[in-house]
Amino acid sequence: MNIIESIKTSIFTPIHPAGIPFIAIFFVFTVIIGWLWSPLYFVGIVLTLWCTYFFRNPERITPALSGTNKNNLIISPADGRVIEISKVVPAEEIGLPEGDWTRICVFMNVFDVHVNRSPMSGIISYKKYIPGAFLNASLDKASSDNERLILGMDTENGKKIAFVQIAGLVARRIICDVDIGSTLKSGDIFGLIRFGSRVDIYFPSDASTMVLVGQKMIAGETIIADFTKSSKSVKRNTDDK
């Protein structure tokens, strides 16, 4: 779907409340510059439409398992593309215990939906804001150098995960609407990052990764990992091919 078709389908899409002041500012700006010189109305209208498009908050249908497998899916917390899948030792600031961890990084450009959603159901047990730089969020060092906000969760299936909102080259504002003790269901909205950024998610490596680098993610819908599938058995099956 190209950007024009996407805008057409987004006309009646709900807007995140954080965007309303910005849309109003763009609208007033349009009136002022158009009053000064009428051809500038077109420029202002385009900018106002783009701002409205940026803050869209479409409904999402979050997949879920049932029965004994309930709450074992990890869902993408952000729209965008996977730029990294790696086995890591999380920095102390992430708030996770020692062990084997996987990190998946999802990069959002300025045309992606920037509303962030909870990857699993659970209780927020850790929150830490770290000021920093505003490097291109696609760079690896953005995880350690950029402004970021870390959330740790004790999930309903007894696991610990962490997800990190990272500001980018253009993004200058991280919005997080939850705190320690907040209960989230998988797919619930927990925040937003303005104007291009990324979200990293850390989870135990015994969950089987279900996505590839370069794959397009849809927040609240795309399954990125599954605790019901053994990562070791997946590796053996891959080796047998």
Locate the domains of the chain by residue range: 3-54, 67-228
Q: What mean pLDDT is predicted for residues 159-166?
A: 96
Reference 114, options 155, 178, 170; nearest CA is 170
Q: Is the dihedral of CA 176, 16, 50, 24 positive or negative?
A: negative
Q: Which two tokens stand for residue 39?
A: 């051809």
* Per-residue pLDDT, 239: 46
Beta-carbon contacts of 97 under 8 Å, excluding residues fewer than 6 positions away, are 160
Report residue 18's pLDDT band, with 50, 70 and 90 as the boundaries. Answer: confident
Q: What mean pLDDT is predicted for residues 77-81?
A: 95
> Residue 196 pLDDT > 70, yes or no?
no
* Per-residue pLDDT, 33: 87
Pairing of strands 148-155, 160-167: antiparallel
What digits encode the pLDDT tens for the residues 169-194? 765 678 899 999 999 999 999 999 87
Angle, helices 40-54 vs 20-36, to 10°: value is 170
Q: Which of 197, 208, 230, 231 is catalytic?
A: 197
Contact criterion met (CB below 8 Å) for 203 and 87:
no
Q: What mean pLDDT is predicted for residues 200-211?
A: 96
Within a 10 A sphere around the Cβ of 179, how many other Cβ atoms?
Answer: 9
* Per-residue pLDDT, 78: 95
Percent of the chain's residues with pLDDT above 90: 48
Q: Which two tokens stand for residue 75?
A: 């869902």
CA distances 167 to 126, 159, 211, 219, Å, are: 19, 27, 23, 17
Whether 197 is a known active-site residue: answer yes
CA distances 32 to 22, 23, 38, 42, 176, Å, are: 15, 14, 10, 12, 33
Q: Using CA atoms, how far apart are residues 177 and 168, in angstroms rounded to an integer? A: 19
Q: Using CA atoms, how far apart are residues 55 and 221, in angstroms rounded to an integer? A: 18
Q: Which two tokens stand for residue 182?
A: 């907040």
Burial class (CB in 10 A: 0-12, 13-18, 19+), 215: middle
Fold of 67-228: Glucose Permease (Domain IIA) (2.70.70)
Contact criterion met (CB below 8 Å) for 200 and 163:
yes
What digits encode the pLDDT tens for the residues 211-232? 999 999 999 999 999 998 755 4
Highest mean pLDDT: which range of 52-56, 77-81, 111-115? 77-81
| Amino acid in the structure at residue 161 | I
